[in-house]
Chains A and B, each alone.
Chain A
Amino acid sequence: MEYDDGVDEHDTPAEVDAAFRTLRRVAITHVVLFLVAVLGVPALSLTLGWWSDGQLAGGMSPGFAMAAFGLYAFFLVIGLAAASLSSAVEARMLGGRHTGEDDGFPADGDRS
């Protein structure tokens, strides 16, 4: 019996390479956003007095609130966005024809 390792043999090296480069672009964008947020907090602390001295709810400064909550929320959002975008890219750029679209023609498995 032929062993099916689940790997789709449909994709050519050029297609895999294209998907890789597109996913790399997604990842780089994610990293850039991550770095902007991480570096932005100390940069604001250095440049904006209000960022450190201002008072928000509970006496927290905006910088403290951002470091305590905002950054994590931001990381969660961009992480989820990058993951879902990567999945969508992979689904659209790799694999065989789109399934679930009955066009009246027999699919592979129907041929005998």
Chain B
Amino acid sequence: MRTGSALLAATICGTWAVVYLVTQVVVSPPLGVGTTVVAGTAASVLLVLGYPSALRGPRAPLALRRRLRGRPAGARPAAREGRGPEEGRGAERSRRRIVAGHRMPLRSGLTADAARRTATRLRPLLGGDAVVITDRELNLAFVGPGSDHHEAGGPVRAAAVRSAIGKGRTVVSRRPSAMGCDVPGCPLRSAVVVPLVVGSRVVGAIGVFRTHDDPAPRDQVEDMASILSLHLELAEADRERKLAADARLDALRAQINPHFLFNILNTIASKSRTDPDEARQLLLRLSDFFRYAVRQEGQLAEFAQEYFFVRTYLSLEQARFGDRLRVRYDVDPQVLTAHVPVLTIQPLVENAVKHGLAAKVEGGTVTLRARVDPLTRTTTIRVTDDGVGVAADVLDGLGGAAPGRAGDGVGLRNISERLTTLFGERFTLDIQSTEGEGTVVEVRVPLR
């Protein structure tokens, strides 16, 4: 589907024309100017507000499912699993609050602060007088009577908690002696302690204590523990995903082709005799190139920085290829401050030079086009070359898991995986190529 601001502008113009016709020409006598202006403005506002939604497509069940799948908390299935007929209304309410996405503090991991906020929130919901959340060694948070000696940050005192962590199953104690607190005068008399499990590992426990001999409902505490465990698992998955994204970026950094370095150094060596000034410039550019590649941190960078990296690279290649490599940049002013994934554009340009133009005797032109569409909130980057193109079977290979040409598919796959990590399904990476005519690679990412 065709998108962009021009389409919207045309639609708005057409709408105003229709409004004018209806209010001034069709009806007799014509309506007032104020009415026409109000109607046209209202229609324009609706179009502008509705346009991004129309581009996103209908809010069908599929879209809804996709949105749910993409939601970071992703805890709805757990709520469904944990539902049981014997649950009280309080537990149902509490679960709804807990699964409401970002409000679950443990979603960011098992930290003292997250544990304190979770325990404070859960104490009235689980019907206990005191709630403790621990890791395997320490009380991360304790809320309620007994906090003077079951202090947060201190060692796990209650034997019931240590037992639950050690055995990896629920421990219910109905007597102070069974609960095992070694401090005389401890007001806590009964406990339900459930381990928190990530995968098959026990990472801590949640305990609900009461100051009388009737312990809190076991099912309720176990359900809540399973939800907390799920959140901890999701937090760990997030951490692993971030580590994987960092590793992919490092891999791309390490993938800077040594042949590129050899070729550039040879070029500089030859120029150092004939044109020392240019050789110096090339050395400075080479230094800039590696400085940027090594230094760049984080997953996103301002487009202007990536543009600098790309033009540094292309100027080095131009020194090598001479007139065979022509470059054309077409950059929208608005895109310069947009944030794009780091080390994404340069590999695309490198592919265009290495696989598109290097093999073509007469050379060709690499075009980098960057645009921002403020209405659809997207940044579009297109790298075009008029080189030898890619064969259809190789192009099919690039679309799948298998790399096509050596080095090419790896870079594209790396970029695709990193974009998936960063944007989920909200990006496109299109490759179009005709053998003998050239290749167009277009990346469209959300505007940041």
Q: Interface on A for B, CB 8 Å cutoff?
A: 9-10, 12, 14-15, 17-18, 21-22, 25-26, 48-50, 85, 88-89, 92-93, 96-98, 101, 103, 105, 108
**Complex contact A97–B330 (CB within 8 A):** no
Q: Are A89 and B333 in contact (CB under 8 A)?
A: yes
Q: Check: B18 CB closer than 8 A to any chain A CB.
A: no
B residues near A (Cβ < 8 Å) are 33, 277, 281, 284-285, 288, 291-292, 295, 304-305, 307-308, 311, 314-315, 318, 326-333, 336-337
State the majority secondary structure of interface residues on B.
helix
**Contacts of A48 on B, CB cut-off 8 Å?**
33
- Please report the C-alpha to C-alpha distance between residue A98 and residue B288 in the assembled complex, in whole angstroms: 10
Task: Report A-chain residues with C-beta under 8 Å of the C-beta of B332.
Answer: 22, 25
Contact of B33 with A49 in the complex, beta carbons under 8 Å? yes
Closest residue to B368 on the A side, CB-wise?
Answer: A18
Q: Which residue of A21, A26, A89, A97 is within 8 Å of B288 (Cβ)?
A: A97
Point out the residues of chain A lying under 8 angstroms from B295, CB to CB.
101, 103, 105
Q: List 17 A-B contacts (CB under 8 A).
A: A14-B326, A14-B329, A15-B329, A18-B329, A21-B329, A21-B330, A21-B331, A22-B331, A22-B332, A25-B333, A26-B333, A88-B336, A92-B336, A93-B331, A97-B291, A98-B308, A101-B295
| Contact pick for B327, options A14, A22, A26, CB 8 Å | A14
A93 to B311, CA, bound (A): 9
Chain A contacts of B304 at CB under 8 A? 92-93
B291 touches A85 (CB 8 A): no
Whole-angstrom distance between the alpha carbons of A64 and B336 in the complex?
A: 40
- Asked if A97 contacts B311 (CB within 8 A), the reply is no
Q: Roughly how many angstroms separate A108 CA and B311 CA in the complex, as a whole number?
A: 19
Residues of chain B with a CB closer than 8 A to A97's CB: 288, 291-292, 308
> Chain B nearest CB: distance from A90 CB in Å?
10
How far is A21 from B305 in the complex, measured between Cα atoms in Å? 19
**Least Cβ–Cβ distance between B253 and chain A, in angstroms:** 14
List residues of chain A with CB within 8 A of the CB of B330.
18, 21
Query: Could you tell me if B307 and A12 are in contact, using CB atoms closer than 8 angstroms?
Result: no
**Cα distance A98–B292 in the bound complex, in angstroms:** 10
Q: Which residue of A lies closest to B20 (CB)?
A: A47
How far does the alpha carbon of A9 sit from the alpha carbon of B285 in the complex, in Å?
A: 11
Question: Which residues of A sit under 8 angstroms from B291, Cβ to Cβ?
Answer: 97, 103, 105
**Complex: how many Å from CA A25 to CA B285?**
28
Q: Which of A14, A21, A22, A96 has the most CB atoms of chain B within a 10 A radius of its CB? A: A14
Q: Tell whether, in the assembled complex, residue A92 and residue B328 are in contact, meaning their CB atoms are under 8 Å apart.
A: no
Q: Is the CB of A15 within 8 A of B311?
A: yes
Question: Can you name the residue of chain A whose Cβ is closest to the Cβ of B315?
Answer: A12
Determine the chain B residues whose CB is within 8 A of the CB of A92 once the complex forms: 304, 307, 336-337
Beyond A49-B33, A89-B333, 18 additional contacts (C-beta under 8 Å) are A9-B277, A10-B285, A18-B330, A25-B332, A48-B33, A88-B337, A92-B304, A93-B331, A96-B288, A97-B292, A97-B308, A98-B305, A98-B308, A101-B295, A103-B291, A103-B295, A105-B295, A108-B284
